[in-house]
Structure 1
Amino acid sequence: MRSEKEWLGRTARTSWNRLWRGMALSAVLAALLAGCSASNDPAASSSSAASGHNQAADAKASPGAVADSQANTAGRASEGQEAGGPAAETALAAEPFSRKIIYTANLVMQVENYEEAESRVQEAVKQSGAYILQFNENTSSSEKYGIFTIKVPANGFQSLLDLLEKINPSMQKNMQGQDVTEEYVDLTARLKAKQVMEGRLVAFMEKAEKTDELVAFSNELGKVQEEIERIQGRMRYLEQNVAYSTIELRITQKIGSAEAIKAQERGPLMERAAAALNGTATMLGFLFQWVIVIVAGALPVLLLLALAIVPVYLMRRRRKARLEEIRARLSEHNQLQEPKNE
């Protein structure tokens, strides 16, 4: 009984020691974050200090709830930076301002000579320093067309449009621009805030002495780094689309019925007759092969049907023969009975 009481006493003392250590560590982290925020904004420092005091009070009121308080404190401190405070606005205002606009154009050319127009388009693309990202070509009974997807540097966008318009002045044009400046500025501010938070979490990890603290900081750091990579990927996507504009070009050439007939190659009469005979022979051979394949596939079924139908047919034939024989005998018997009756 005494050993049990001693064990309970040691357990209680250990729990209270852990509680006071967590409370002290939370207070130290709150003070550090408050000091870092105070260097940028006095209002932020006062709010961080207040949050530190509230956290300490909560720890006293609810013992055993100090597992991840360090990571949560760092996350709350970084929210002010991510929202974009006066320091971030000052830094962005100091940078040179430039609009970021993504230009796209959809063009349709109706030409008389498709090959010549295609050659001139490729030459215009080379002169503008652009490149063809994708190209599709097709021919139907009524038209021949090709679709180009062209990527051109933003500073050569208008010059390439002018060159294409010289090829076909009556082409249809549809141009539009998407202003992504606001999104890019917002991503830049968020990236800076996340990088500041990443540096603080790394510093806290270097000072951490307990395993649970290290795990909490490591988990929070992984989330922050994943968000940084996502923001950087989106920024790279916007930069590439701003640097290179996109032009969708469709070239079409109408093909009339007379032109379609002329386009077909014609040979001498005997050659066309031989080609027709060869085609017919090929088709007959093809049909014969299919008949053989179908018969071979249906052969098992035909055998089963034969085994079921042939006995029935033979029985009906024998029965019919017997009936005819009986009728013949009856007829003979009747013929013999008639003279006797007379």
Structure 2
Amino acid sequence: MNKTYAAIILLAVLLLLGGCGAPKQGAAPVASEKSYENGAVAGAGSESFSTVANDADGQAPVERKVTRKASLVMAVSNVTESYNQIQVIVNESGGYLQNADIHSADGQMRSTLTLRVPAAKLEEILSALEPLGKVEGKNISGQDVTEEYYDATARKANLERQEKRLLELYNKAGTVKDILEIENELTRVRGEIESLQARLNVLDNLISLATITVELRAPGGISTGSTLKEPLGTRLKAAWQMGVNGLVNFSEGLLLLGVVLLPYTPFLAAAYLLFYYIVRKRRLKSKDSPTDRGAV
């Protein structure tokens, strides 16, 4: 009986030990999973911090400052009409006509226009101008002034801080000598500030408004190719105009030559008279020679 009780007690102890041991073995994977999750969160947090640190340490992207220019050379059927159409296109785009010139050269009407248009609309405006005639030349260029712009901005800010400090010293100055020295320095600093501000204003204008130079010419003169496709009356008119222009140019050349030679007129006249006198004297001698020989 004692052996039976002992066996029962031993079995109970073994079952108890087995039940307690099972949970301990199952808890280990749970702890590992929690440890992994904590590690993953920690890793994610480190990555996020690294990204924020990089953004904080990195410099903000710099806005590029670029001035843009373009030029167009076009042959148009009517220079005056195209000139007016260009004005309308530029005004509607928010730009303006800076310079314009219309003249006649070698029987051809020509015009040169300088346009200032919003830089963001440069390509759009060029596309609107090109259908006005035959494009014979086109160029688009840009100049990066970013370094100059931000350098001038930084120098201006430093000078403004220097101006502020000088004003504080000026208010605390106790002698006339100190006041005069500070005033001279203030004058110099303010002059540099104004100069830098003027340059920044110019750059802002060049950056915000692109410059377009347009050269227009009307077909004229006698030539081969596309010009011969024009009506006969137009070509005859152009030929007549060329002849008239040639005569005018020849007359002007003679007039200019006369003006150039005018100061030399006395010397030329004296040389002519001397030459005439020598030639006449020789002729008289040649006529008298046979008579003198006959008398001898």
Task: Letter of the 1:121 partner, please give it.
Answer: I
Confirm whether residue 117 of structure 1 aligns to residue 82 of structure 2.
Answer: yes
Residue in 2 that maps onto 1:200:
165
Whether the aligned pair in 1 keeps the contact of 2:77 and 2:133 (CA below 8 Å) is no
User: Radius of gyration: which is bigger?
Assistant: 2
Indicate the residue corresponding to 1:259 in structure 2: 237
Corresponding position of 2:136:
171
Alignment of 1:81-160 (within 5 A): 97-160=62-125
Compute the displacement of 1:107 (Å): 1.0
How far has the Cα of 1:121 moved from its partner? 2.0
Separation of aligned partners in 1, 2:203 and 2:187: 25
SS in 2 for 1:246: strand
Runs of 4+ in 1 over 4 A off after TM superposition: 261-264
Deviations 1:129-188 (A, max 9, x none): 221111100013331101101010111111101111222353310111011111011011
Q: 1:261-310, CA deviations, whole angstroms, 9 ceiling, x for partnerless residues?
A: 6779xxxxxxxxxxxxxxxxxxxxxxxxxxxxxxxxxxxxxxxxxxxxxx
Change (3 A) 1:244 1:112: same
The one-letter amino acid of 1:153's match is P
Tell me the alpha carbon deviations over residues 224-274 of structure 1, each in whole angstroms, 9 at most, x when there is no partner: 11111111111111001111110010000132362236779xxxxxxxxxx
Describe the SS at the equivalent of 1:112: coil
The answer as to whether partners of 2:72 and 2:135 remain within 8 angstroms in 1 is: no
Q: Secondary structure at the match of 1:108?
A: strand
* Corresponding residue of 1:56: none
Structure 2 unmatched runs, 5+: 1-55, 223-235, 243-296
| TM-score, length of structure 2 as denominator length | 0.54
For residues 166 and 115 of structure 1, the distance between their equivalents in structure 2, rounded to whole angstroms, comes to: 16
1: CA distance, partners of 2:117 / 2:142:
14
Query: Deviations 1:97-147 (Å, cap 9, x if unpaired)?
Result: 321111111110012332333233223223322211111000133311011
Q: 1 CA distance for matches of 2:91 and 2:185?
A: 50
> How many residues align structurally?
172
Asked if 2 retains the 8 angstrom alpha-carbon contact of 1:104 and 1:177, the reply is yes
Question: Distance in 2 between the 1:167 and 1:117 partners?
Answer: 7
Q: Which residue of 2 aligns with 1:241?
A: 206
Moved more, 188-197 or 167-176: 167-176
Q: Given that residues 128 and 159 in structure 1 are in contact (C-alpha distance below 8 angstroms), is that contact kept between their aligned partners in structure 2?
A: no
Cα distance in 2 for residues equivalent to 1:244 and 1:201: 37
Unaligned runs of 5+ in 1: 1-89, 265-342
2-structure distance, mates of 1:149, 1:235 = 22
Q: C-alpha root-mean-square deviation of aligned residues, in Å?
A: 2.2
* Partner in structure 2 of residue 218 of structure 1: 183
How far apart, in 1, do the equivalents of 2:78 and 2:178 lie? 74
Q: Aligned runs of 1:296-307 on 2, under 5 Å? A: none
Amino acid at match of 1:260: A
Which structure has the higher relative contact order (CA within 8 Å, separation 6+)? 2
Give the TM-score, by structure 1 length: 0.47
Partner Cα separation in structure 2 for residue 155 and residue 136 of structure 1: 26
Q: Could you tell me how far apart the structure 1 residues matched to 2:131 and 2:106 are?
A: 29
In structure 2, the residue corresponding to 1:145 is in which secondary structure? Answer: strand
